[in-house]
Amino acid sequence: MHPESLLVGFVLGILVAIAVYSARGRRPSNINKPARVPIGRYLGGFPLATTPVDYVDCLIDSSAFVFVSKHNKEFGRIPRTAVVDLFCEEKPLLLPRLTATKNITFPNLGVGKKRSLSGYCLVVDWQIGDTRNNAIFEFGGVAARVNAHGVETILKSNCKASVPPLRFDERNCPFCREVVKKEALVCKHCHGRITDPRPVRVTLPA
């Protein structure tokens, strides 16, 4: 084989390697992975997690805020559509602001006591059915207040509006998913014909 051919092959190989490496570099490394936010120390609020947990992260997936320990063990989950409020408060001033209708064991964790003056907390207030719940997370250190409000802002921006349940005389259009009357034959939103059993989209004349 001629030296020129070897040289051309070597150069082409280098160019291909560079192209592959560059393509990998442009590919998002976090595709399909939920966002992960450090959220301090868990104090209480989830019925199946009755003891504090250190070094907690909040995973924000497509439907929920998922709370995990430093070993990635899930101990709580809140639907993004179920959040009523998020707020931050100094630990000794927190107790009067809690709205949970059950699992009230927060005084045992130092909430509302003077010995907790250095604590600063974030509360996730959520409701499922008739039950109101509060999950409390504590931030420490000189930047506790700043960190708590930072996480509050992130979570608020990822909350979703709750979808009210359909009434007995309503249903969703199979085309646009808007709410229509149960007896409707044509959707008033997208003009799709929604007669059962096989919906057919129709185009109305201009």
The answer to the question of residue 121 being in a domain is: yes
Better-scored residue on pLDDT, 6 or 80: 80
pLDDT score of 1: 54
- The answer to the question of residue 49 being in a domain is yes
Q: Residue 25: its pLDDT value, please?
A: 41
> Do you find a cis peptide bond into 197, omega within 30 degrees of 0?
yes
Verify that 137 and 40 share a domain, yes or no: yes
Local confidence band at 8 (pLDDT 50, 70, 90 cut-offs) = very low
> How many helices (DSSP H) and strands (DSSP E) are in the chain?
2, 12
Check whether residue 102 and residue 184 sit in a common domain. Answer: no
Domain range enclosing 60: 35-157
> Domain tally for the chain?
2
Same domain, 205 and 107: no
Q: Which of 144, 135, 97 is nearest to 116 (CA)?
A: 144
Residues 125 and 178 in one domain: no
Q: Which amino acid is at 204?
A: L
Three-state DSSP at 37 gives: strand
Indicate the average pLDDT of the chain. Answer: 78
Mean pLDDT along residues 37-54: 92
203: DSSP letter: -
- pLDDT, greater one: 64 or 179: 64
With a CB cutoff of 8 Å and minimum separation 6, the contacts of 2 are none
The pLDDT score that the predictor gives to residue 158 is 95
Residues 146, 53 share a domain: yes
Looking up residue 119, the CATH number of its domain turns out to be: 2.30.29.30
Within a domain: residue 50? yes
* Predicted pLDDT of residue 112: 56
Position 170 confidence tier, pLDDT thresholds 50, 70, 90? confident
Encode pLDDT of 108-129 as tens digits: 566 655 554 567 999 999 998 8
Statement to judge: residues 139 and 174 lie in one domain: no
Q: How confident is the model at residue 107 (pLDDT cuts 50, 70, 90)?
A: low
**Nearest-angstrom CA–CA distance, 174 and 12:** 54
In a domain, 173, yes or no: yes
In angstroms, the CA 51 to CA 49 distance is 6
